Amino acid sequence: MKSVLYVSHGSRVEEAKKQAENFIQSVQSDVNVPLQQICFLEIVNPGIPEGVERLVNAGADEIAVIPVLLFAAGHYYKDIPEEIDQLRDIYPHVTFTYGKPLGVQERLIDIMAERIRETQITPSSAAKILVVGRGSKNPATKKAIETIGRKLKQKTNVARVESCFLAVLKPSFDEAVHKSYEDGEQQVFIVPYLWFTGVLMRSMEDKIKDYGGRFILCQHLGSHPNIQEALRDRVMQALGQTPENQL
């Protein structure tokens, strides 16, 4: 029996866990597969082994593992595959397929442009956008965020768009905010390329409190119809029901 295992990141913030679960549930209703299960990479339960066990106990012998991730970084290339390899040994009769993260998509960048409009603050001629990525050791992450920045610039007509990161990569978020302040920037839109709320969103909120109204923090991607559609397409692709060239 076919099944789908959604693997979300996990967070110490209960609201983030609920957001992830509610979001995935909104996608599950559009996926015509009898067995579907949500699990988490770390911090909260159920983990991947528990998620697979529940599916197998319910009769699954085909499991499409869907990474609920924006980019292909360490979790995608290392952590999840290692867990799957161990589970293949435990359940040799089960066929596992592995989906793709969302990556860079125009419909996701459209959400970011919408998040700027939602602030109801019109960008001035001197406005700047800071695109904020999580960051990883994978060099493709920096390139992807920079690509997103260029595309967002085209969609918003804001002349200056820069990128920064919350971990590992440079410039860091703290460095970018401090530099913007020191340079006398008067209107900086901070646009996080993050799926859900959590510790990282809260840390950004705390950071800009000291700088007054110069910095406008936009909402994360969240449960927007565009990103629901994007994840649903990744599920369909993993199930072999959507040609890759249509994504």
**pLDDT, tens digit, for every residue of 163-185?**
999 988 999 999 999 999 999 99
- Residue 244, pLDDT > 70, answer no
Q: Is pLDDT at 246 greater than 50 in this prediction?
A: no
Looking at the DSSP bridge assignments, the partners of residue 114 are: none
| 242 pLDDT above the threshold of 80 | no
Percent of the chain with pLDDT over 70: 98
Query: Are 195 and 221 in contact, with CB atoms under 8 Å apart?
Result: yes
Render pLDDT for 87-146 as a digit per residue (tens, 0 to 9): 999 999 999 999 999 999 999 999 999 999 999 999 999 999 999 999 888 888 999 999
- Three-state SS for 170? coil
Question: Of 50, 70, 71, which Cα lies nearest the Cα of 5?
Answer: 50
For the residues of 19-79, what is the DSSP string, one character each? HHHHHHHHHHTT---SEEEEEESSSSSS-HHHHHHHHHHTT-SEEEEEE--SS-SHIIIII
In single-letter form, the type of residue at position 187 comes to Q
Distance CA 166, CA 132 (A): 7
Instruction: Assign 197 a pLDDT band (cuts: 50, 70, 90).
Output: confident
Q: How confident is the model at residue 247 (pLDDT cuts 50, 70, 90)?
A: very low
Tell me what pLDDT residue 14 has.
82
| Cα–Cα distance measured from residue 3 to residue 115, given in angstroms and rounded to the nearest whole number | 34
Higher pLDDT, 26 or 72: 26
Average pLDDT, the chain: 92
Confidence of residue 211 (pLDDT cuts 50, 70, 90): confident
Average the pLDDT over 33-60 and give the result. Answer: 94
Q: Is the pLDDT of residue 11 over 80?
A: no
Is the N-terminal amide bond of 81 cis, ω within 30° of 0?
no
What pLDDT score was predicted for residue 173?
A: 96
Q: What is the pTM of this model?
A: 0.90
Sorted by where each starts, the structural domains of the chain and their CATH numbers stand as 2-102+224-246 (3.40.50.1400), 106-217 (3.40.50.1400)
pLDDT band at 241 (very low <50, low <70, confident <90, very high): confident
- Kindly state the tokens that stand for 215: 């910095």
Distance CA(182)–CA(174), nearest Å, equals 12
**Average pLDDT value for residue range 5-26:** 87
Residue 245: pLDDT band with limits 50, 70, 90:
very low
Distances in whole angstroms, Cα of residue 160 to Cα of each of 3, 120, 121, 172, 189: 45, 19, 16, 18, 11
Helices 80-90 and 48-57: crossing angle in degrees, nearest 10, is 40
